[in-house]
Amino acid sequence: MTTPSRVDRLSRRRFIQSSALAVGAGAGLLDSVRGASAAQPPAAVTTPGDGAKNLIFLVADGLAAGGPALLDQFGRYTGSGLSALTRLAMGAGVRRALQSTHAADAAVTDSAAASSAWSTGVKHISGQLCLSTDGRRLSPLLERARKAGKRTGCVTTTTITHATPAGWYASIDEREKESEIAGQLLEARLDVALGGGSRYFVDHLTQSRPALAVLRTQAALQAVGKEPVQPGQRVLGLFSEGHVPFAIERPANVPGLEEMSRFAVERLAALGGDGFVLQIEAGRVDHAAHRNDAAGYLRDLQEFDRTVAWVAEWVRSRQDTLLIITTDHATANPGLTFYGREGIDALRRLADARHSVDWILERAAGAATPAEGAERLAAAVKEAVGVTLDEYGRSALAAALGKQAADPFKERRAVECVVGSLMGNELGVGWVSRNHTSDHVELLALGVGHEAMPAFIDNIALHDWMTARLGLSAKAG
Ligand SMILES: [Zn+2]
């Protein structure tokens, strides 16, 4: 660990100060947008507080604009057609916006700061959840929703204690403290919480909790889904020790995003009362992007898109729900890069891909030398995506494995990205880096109150906008 230099500390302070100005600017933007909405025809006006009873907030973590474009071109190739995301954006009854995502201390945000911005309306220090920049606890959005009589829920394909869901119910100084976050999740009394991460609950679930049904399998989820809903009973689904496996290689008996989302929406709606607030996250889209894993990315994004289609139809069948579909930041910004026939051949290879980069990396575990590891990786790449790496590719892998042997922690992700990049060369998908980016990101709003969504919104202003639609207190602390 190095101590930040004085220059670093000064520039960090300056960044936080300018973000504080941006908070003011965000409020100004929101005010001007509300003013603008008043000038629209009466049917388009939504008065704060008289709008949505329910909010469903759908997140594909790390979704850059190239993601839906990849889905659409893949759909053209396979004949499955345009993505639900694009069809929604093209249709009536939807507002499309761009969202800015910077953190209090960084131009490029992490998921903790971004999720907490939505949840509290305050810019955050990277890695922190629902804390002000001077360390005060801020009340997460689901806490305020519950106090207002609403039902609450989170669904994710990551651990349920990971940064993006946790930002909606927990307050803590380090996102990595997932066991503590698990304790906070139980205290937050969410009506439905579904995802992975059972390893973080071992110490918390030692005593029996009659009001909490803890589900570990798809069969248990389906059985509970068929039972009459008991208003007092909360559901915690932990379907994996860590993250839920990538869609491309997930066992058929592990529930995915679509199945968990349907369960959560239908259960929360059946509970009645003053409505509900539900966050749904396709969290592994971000993980695949970090690994520059085109095949893994595409399959998790397809699952997100199917979930979008189902949820949008559900929202449109009613008159009481607002749906937001967005992301917390872009990650690695994938793009199709091959011209002509070559690009079509690449889409065919992508369609035939069978495994994630993680699966490929596991095949090299235990290799005696970097050269042996590189040979194993090359064989695994061939099996996973049908690509034969040339001599250049094998030597790049051996070099990355050699660095990993010298410093296992620092270079581990470099091997992932060398594998991902080499495959990207054949799959026609280029990546800008292995990190998040500062890109403005897409947002779609539909359902009750969507007409008032401005064309551009910062992530903290989005909190204010949503709480106004729901009639919730905008004050997080
Ligand atoms: Zn990420």
pLDDT tens digits for range 238-266: 999 999 999 999 999 999 999 999 999 99
**What residues does the ion ligand 1 have nearby, CB within 5 Å?**
286
Residue 359 has pLDDT above 90, yes or no: yes
Q: Which residue has the higher pLDDT, 20 or 428?
A: 428
How far from 410 is each of 123, 176, 287, 293, CA to CA, in Å? 29, 18, 17, 19
CA 104–ligand 1 middle distance (angstroms): 17
pLDDT tens for each residue of 388-436:
999 999 999 999 988 877 766 565 567 888 898 888 888 999 999 889 9
CA 413–ligand 1 middle distance (angstroms): 13
Q: Identify the band that residue 477 occupies on the pLDDT scale cut at 50, 70 and 90.
A: confident
What average pLDDT score do residues 87-97 get? Answer: 96
> Which residue, 464, 449, 465, 149, is CA-closest to 320?
449
CA 274–ligand 1 middle distance (angstroms): 34
CA 436–ligand 1 middle distance (angstroms): 6
Helix H or strand E segment including 457: strand 456-458
CA 288–ligand 1 middle distance (angstroms): 9
Predicted TM-score (pTM) of this structure = 0.89
Do the beta carbons of residue 353 and residue 380 sit within 8 Å?
Answer: no
Q: What local confidence, expressed as pLDDT, does residue 373 receive? A: 93
CA 286–ligand 1 middle distance (angstroms): 5
Partnered with residue 331 across adjacent β-strands are 436
CA 328–ligand 1 middle distance (angstroms): 9
Residue 22 has pLDDT above 60, yes or no: no
CA 331–ligand 1 middle distance (angstroms): 6
Helix H or strand E segment including 57: strand 54-60
Q: Identify the band that residue 211 occupies on the pLDDT scale cut at 50, 70 and 90.
A: very high
Compute φ and ψ for 276, nearest 5 degrees. Answer: -150, 160
CA 45–ligand 1 middle distance (angstroms): 36
CA 46–ligand 1 middle distance (angstroms): 34
Q: Which residues contact 213 (CB under 8 A, 6 or more apart)?
A: 224, 233, 234, 235, 236
Do the beta carbons of residue 263 and residue 238 sit within 8 Å?
Answer: no
Average pLDDT score, the chain: 89
CA 111–ligand 1 middle distance (angstroms): 7
pLDDT tens for each residue of 111-125:
999 999 999 999 999
CA 281–ligand 1 middle distance (angstroms): 13
Compute φ and ψ for 192, nearest 5 degrees. Answer: -140, 130
Q: Is 416 exposed, middle or buried (0-12, 13-18, 19+ CB in 10 A)?
A: buried
Q: What local confidence, expressed as pLDDT, does residue 402 receive? A: 87
CA distance linking residue 188 with residue 260, whole number of Å:
20
> Which residue, 290, 302, 361, is CA-closest to 62?
290
Partnered with residue 278 across adjacent β-strands are 56, 153
CA distance linking residue 269 with residue 257, whole number of Å:
18
Residue 56 has pLDDT above 50, yes or no: yes
Q: Which residues contact 390 (CB under 8 A, 6 or more apart)?
A: none
CA 110–ligand 1 middle distance (angstroms): 7
Mind listing the domains of the chain with CATH numbers?
17-334+435-470 (3.40.720.10), 336-430 (no CATH)
Residue 196 has pLDDT above 50, yes or no: yes
CA distance linking residue 180 with residue 79, whole number of Å:
47
In the structure encoding, which two tokens stand for residue 398, read together? 């051996």
Provide, rounded to the nearest whole percent, the portion of the chain with pLDDT above 70: 88
Q: What local confidence, expressed as pLDDT, does residue 26 receive? A: 38
> Which residue, 315, 323, 319, is CA-closest to 57?
323
pLDDT tens for each residue of 332-351:
999 999 999 999 999 999 99
CA distance linking residue 377 with residue 361, whole number of Å:
7
